Amino acid sequence: MTDHDTLQPLQDVGEGFHGRTLLLIGCEVSPPTNHLLAVGAQTCPSREQQPQDYIDDLRAQGALTFLAHPHDRGVPLAKLPSYRWDAWPVGRYTGIEIWNHLSDWSGNLGRLPRAVRGAAKPHTFLTGPAPETLALWDAVGQARRVVGIGGLDVHDVKIGRSPLQLRIFPYPYAFRTILCHVLVPAWPETPEEAKAILLSSIAAGRLFFANHAMGDARTLSFRALNGSGAEIAAMGDEFAAGKKLHLALTSPKLADLRLVRDGQEIARTFGRDLSHEVQAPGVYRAELRVRRGRRLYPWVFTNPIYLR
Ligand SMILES: [Zn+2]
């Protein structure tokens, strides 16, 4: 959990296991624009600093940093500002929050037909990551690994009084929507060891993010296989191009499966498996969409496998 400009919950609550759930406390540096999410930090830098300075400050602490909702559109109808990232160029961050639940939701509020449908069926409201954010991710990935994550940005805002109170995303609802699935080599029982493994796996890009409301994505796999079918790379890996290999995507359920290289679709099928031979350098990642009725809804986005 990352509250705005404070790590006070480290003192008030502390990190550790609550039942089977490991709670880690981070912060979100939150000036008017250029929000930065940090996990693994000891102090939350001042939001008065320049963005590159708070990125470097957190990096020096060993924290992971993510540009938050970089293309947030705000809500023009409600005169809410855009919390976009505008301090370009910027570098040395761990990754980018590619899909932000609040940003996706609020950005669609001004479109009335969608808003009416969304009120009746909240799962139909999300349109997926902003195309500009995906394009940014594909572009910066050409030079180095940039970890993509999904986030909730949930505030559980209460409007009005009971029984007519409107709550914009209570936690029990939100935690069943956009989730990051991190692939860890082991899951130790001590919180310190579990935290270390979790953060190093995230830093290595071994994760995908999915809207759980569209289906449980936990058994998804996206790997690079050699000619004999042995795994030679997983999500987040960077390795030398040259030999032919297969990118293999397996979905837990029927979906629209797409492979993307440097932002361009290179293979697509409707099914549970997609295998595609590649050899050229590129940033390769997968997107999955679920069909409901005649529409496709965004479901899963993997981190890339990088051929250099
Ligand atoms: Zn924010």
The predicted-structure confidence for 146-197, as pLDDT tens digits, reads as follows 999 999 998 888 878 888 777 777 888 889 999 999 999 999 999 999 999 9
CA pair distance 137, 142, nearest whole angstrom: 9
CA pair distance 292, 304, nearest whole angstrom: 27
CA pair distance 44, 7, nearest whole angstrom: 6
Q: Separation of 95 CA from ligand 1 center, angstroms? A: 15
Dump pLDDT digits (tens) for 261-270: 999 999 999 9
pLDDT along the chain (308 residues), means of 10: 96 94 97 97 97 98 98 82 95 98 81 65 81 98 98 86 80 91 95 97 98 96 95 95 94 98 98 97 98 93 98
**Pair of tokens at residue 147:** 């970890």
Q: Separation of 176 CA from ligand 1 center, angstroms? A: 20
Q: Separation of 101 CA from ligand 1 center, angstroms? A: 11
Q: Separation of 39 CA from ligand 1 center, angstroms? A: 14
Predicted pLDDT of residue 164: 78
3-state secondary structure of 217: coil
In sequence order, the β-bridge partners of residue 248 are: 223, 275
Torsion of CA 116, 119, 122, 125, to 10 degrees: 30
Planar angle of CA 229, 230, 236, nearest 5 degrees: 115
Query: What is the pTM for the complete model shown?
Result: 0.95
Q: Separation of 28 CA from ligand 1 center, angstroms? A: 7
CA pair distance 250, 260, nearest whole angstrom: 15
| Residue 168 CB partners (closer than 8 Å, separation 6+) | 155, 156, 157, 159
Predicted pLDDT of residue 160: 83
Q: Separation of 165 CA from ligand 1 center, angstroms? A: 24
Q: Separation of 267 CA from ligand 1 center, angstroms? A: 34
